[in-house]
Amino acid sequence: MNHSPRTTTMAPIPVSDTTGRGGADDHMQAVYNELRRIAAAYLRGERPGRTLQATALVHEAYLRLAGLGQPWVDRNHFLGIAARAMRQILVDGARARGAQKRWAGMDRVSLTETLIAAKHEDAMLSALDDALVRLGEVDQELARIVEMRYFAGLSIEDTATALDISPATLKRRWALARGWLFRELSAS
Amino acid sequence: MGTRPGLAVSGIERVVMTPDERWKRVKALFELALEQMPPNIDAWLDQQGETDEDVRADVLSLLRHQERSGSFLNTPIADQAPDLISESHPLQEGQVVDKYTIVRELGRGGMGHVYLATEPSLKRQVALKTLAPELAANPEYRERFIREARAAAALEHHSGICTVYSYGEVDGTPYIAHEFVDGRTLRAEIEEGPLPSLEAIHQTAVSLADTLGFAHQHGITHRDFKPENIMRATAGRLKVLDFGLASVTTSAGGPASFVTLTGQGTLMGTLLYMSPEQLRGEKADYRSDVFALGLVLYEYACGVHPFASAQPMGIMANILNSEPTPASMHRGDLPASLVAILTRCLAKNPEGRFPSAVELTVALTSDAPKPRQDAAPAADHMVGWWRTHQLAVIALYLTACVLAWQVKEWQAGHARALFMASCIAAMIGGVLRSHLLFTERVTTTQLTEERERWKYPLTAADLVIALALLADGAILYFGDRLVPAVLTVALGLGIAAGRLVIERVTTAATFAHSDRA
């Protein structure tokens, strides 16, 4: 299997812009920066409330970018890009914190248990991201579902709408994506 | 349940598929299987007309993994995104903090962050430790942070303790700049395995005890000694970090403030290496450090916590109430002296431990025999067989005496002398074997020596009994008591074989590793 090395920020997301609109990388960069900026503002106490919902984060970024008159202010398209930006931010952060590169020495049981434990989940993000790149090579849609559900925390309905499929179909494909990744990570 | 028109794939046979086509079939079958939940997937796949072996195998394996995946990915990481994003970089790469320039983040803990930084004027690397901004507002945490710097600074002339360079503040966040140790923590070593060699255990034990002993000599108790706080530099030198809980005089701080000073994030990790008196909220002293050092060394040597339990709370309960599993149960090749030292460190009552790490260091360096290299793997379960053998032989002695007595009753004469000889030999053998059993249980360290010392007397005793039984057998045979004669001879041969062949083998199997020095 082709393991594409992914070490640098942003650049090598092997994605074609399925919506047919151009400039996906620029959009990604804009959303990425915006999400980070909003999160940092919360930390400095410029926004009220200590806890910041991930979805609130995404929506605030959307409102701001839409307000700036970006040409791609289609909400569904935005959600897809925001989900990928979230994935990138979280994986970059995990890598910066010295995440494990493999799921070394983990059997299937501890794999599940490990993902329940939040701290380790962070450490595993790098390996998950690599597996997700491979999944994207097999089936781009499944990779996008994982980005939206897991990395952006979007609901079944929101994800289904954004991908233009029925919620029932989405549920089955989400199950397929989880099974595929679980197999991939268990084997590594 | 009929086939569905949606699966046009079913009719195709013997066509070479592209990976893409194959995946489409796998995906379609997987989704349909989830919808219909057939009880027998294999039969169901036949029903669907799927003949491609690869496709069938892939569908089966994906369904199996999906079933087993439990809660995998079901809780979005997004829920933690704000924390993960927001706290990721209080200090940025390239940022200048007083005379230091930040290079990158090294790690983080419940208390704050550690960065690698450079000090351009001296061209050296330093570790910059900051207190988390949300904690910096709390005077108690600031106090603890400063205390760490002071404790470490007071001890900087020991190579096992990080040298503190300076203390300062950046944007209201206090930081400590100290020596940068390039390496990994003892926690990482324990988790990544493999189990260390006896040589490595000995060196680690001596080095850690020496470092803690140095602190104790200067009146400083560490109070938070654990594998996470110990770094092994790439050069091999061990460094003890994080004197954040250290108390400079034995009465300073006290348990009450200690509990509040322990942040939520660090609470668990700390409690697992606490002494019973600390867990009870009593005063910690040098002996509490000795207990923690015993825990760390035990875990390092055996790979498991001596009070292991599935639940963290269970470990604490075990620390308070249970005796630790002897280290030799996990690793039979540990020198008995080290096992005894660990047991003493882990005594529930502080009175039972070494008074401080200084005495512990002495015990480790003087008492410990030189660790043996290429020791055989644990043969601990064999000890049970060895004990059984000893007890069985003692029982045979009794049987032999009873037999000899019976023969003497039947045919006095030579048999009387044989009975006397048997009794004396059985008494000597019995006492010696009991002595060895006692040594093995109680003063384990001397077992090898004692076995060696009594080897020939034991063989002599056994052979006397065996020969006496053979002679008794002859007497019975000539006295026309055939059956007792056969039994007596058999017992005699059994005792001789037991000593000359069987015991040799079981002893070798049990003690080979400790005898090879």
Annotated domain spans of chain B: 8-68, 85-179, 184-367, 380-515
Contact between A112 and B69 using a beta-carbon 8 Å cutoff: yes
Task: Report the alpha-carbon distance of residue B88 to residue B85 in Å, rounded.
Answer: 5
Q: Does the bond joining A167 to the residue before it have cis omega, within 30 degrees of 0? A: no
Contact between B65 and A43 using a beta-carbon 8 Å cutoff: no
% of chain B exceeding 70 in pLDDT: 81
Contacts with A180 from chain B: Cβ below 8 Å: 62, 65
Question: Is B224 a catalytic site residue?
Answer: yes
Contact between B76 and A43 using a beta-carbon 8 Å cutoff: no
Given a cut of 70, is residue B173 above it in pLDDT? yes
- Whether domain B85-179 has CATH 3.30.200.20: the reply is yes
**Mean per-residue pLDDT of chain B:** 79
Query: How many residue contacts between A and B have a Cβ separation below 8 Å?
Result: 125
Best probe of the B interface among A2, A50, A112, by most B CBs < 10 A, is A112
Report whether B288 contacts B360 (CB < 8 A): no
Model pLDDT for residues B248-276, shown as the tens digit of each residue = 433 333 332 233 233 322 333 356 788 88
Model pLDDT for residues B408-423, shown as the tens digit of each residue = 888 878 888 888 999 9
Percent helix, strand, coil in chain B, to 5, is 60, 10, 30
Domain B380-515, CATH = 1.20.120
User: What fold, for B184-367?
Assistant: Transferase(Phosphotransferase); domain 1 (1.10.510)
Token pair 């004197």 in the structure block, residue: B243
Question: Catalytic pick from B52, B58, B224, B242?
Answer: B224
Looking at residue B16, what DSSP letter applies? P
Poorest-confidence range of B62-66, B189-193, B370-374? Answer: B370-374
State both tokens at B269.
Answer: 């990790």
Does B53 reach chain A within 8 Å, measured CB to CB?
no
Contact between B61 and A183 using a beta-carbon 8 Å cutoff: yes
pLDDT of the residue at B295: 93
Contact between B63 and A55 using a beta-carbon 8 Å cutoff: no
Contact between A138 and B23 using a beta-carbon 8 Å cutoff: yes
Model pLDDT for residues A34-50, shown as the tens digit of each residue = 776 666 655 555 444 44
Phi first, then psi: give them for residue B394, nearest 5 degrees.
-60, -40
Contacts with A150 from chain B: Cβ below 8 Å: 73, 76-78
Q: What are the residues whose beta carbons fall under 8 Å from the beta carbon of B322, sequence distance 6 or more?
A: B307
Residue in A108, A77, A70, A33 with CA at minimum distance from that of residue B71? A108
Contacts with B27 from chain A: Cβ below 8 Å: 139, 173, 176
H or E element that contains B323: none
* B23: amino acid identity, one letter: W
* A108: amino acid identity, one letter: R
Model pLDDT for residues B367-378, shown as the tens digit of each residue = 545 444 333 444
Average pLDDT over residues B188-211: 89
Phi first, then psi: give them for residue B131, nearest 5 degrees.
-85, 135
* Full-model pTM: 0.43
Q: How far is A68 from chain B (nearest CA, A)?
A: 23
Phi first, then psi: give them for residue B84, nearest 5 degrees.
-65, -35
Does B107 reach chain A within 8 Å, measured CB to CB?
yes
Token pair 């108790």 in the structure block, residue: B221
Longest dimension (CA), chain A: 49
Q: Can you give the C-alpha Rg of chain B in angstroms?
A: 35
Given a cut of 60, is residue B247 above it in pLDDT? no
Q: How far is A172 from chain B (nearest CA, A)?
A: 6
Model pLDDT for residues A68-98, shown as the tens digit of each residue = 555 555 677 777 877 887 788 778 767 765 5
Model pLDDT for residues B14-47, shown as the tens digit of each residue = 567 888 899 999 999 999 999 998 888 899 999 9
Contacts with B108 from chain A: Cβ below 8 Å: 97
In the structure, what pLDDT confidence band is assigned to residue B95 with cuts at 50, 70 and 90? Answer: confident
Contacts with B113 from chain A: Cβ below 8 Å: none
How many CB atoms are closer than 10 A to CB B388? 11
Does B31 reach chain A within 8 Å, measured CB to CB?
yes
Q: How far is A70 from chain B (nearest CA, A)?
A: 24
pLDDT of the residue at B516: 44
Does B1 reach chain A within 8 Å, measured CB to CB?
no
Q: State the Cα angle at B312 between B202 and B226, rounded to 5°.
A: 30
Q: What are the residues whose beta carbons fall under 8 Å from the beta carbon of A10, sequence distance 6 or more?
A: A25, A28, A29, A32, A88
Best probe of the A interface among B21, B54, B63, B69, by most A CBs < 10 A, is B69
Q: How far is B300 from chain A (nearest CA, A)?
A: 18
Contacts with B89 from chain A: Cβ below 8 Å: 96
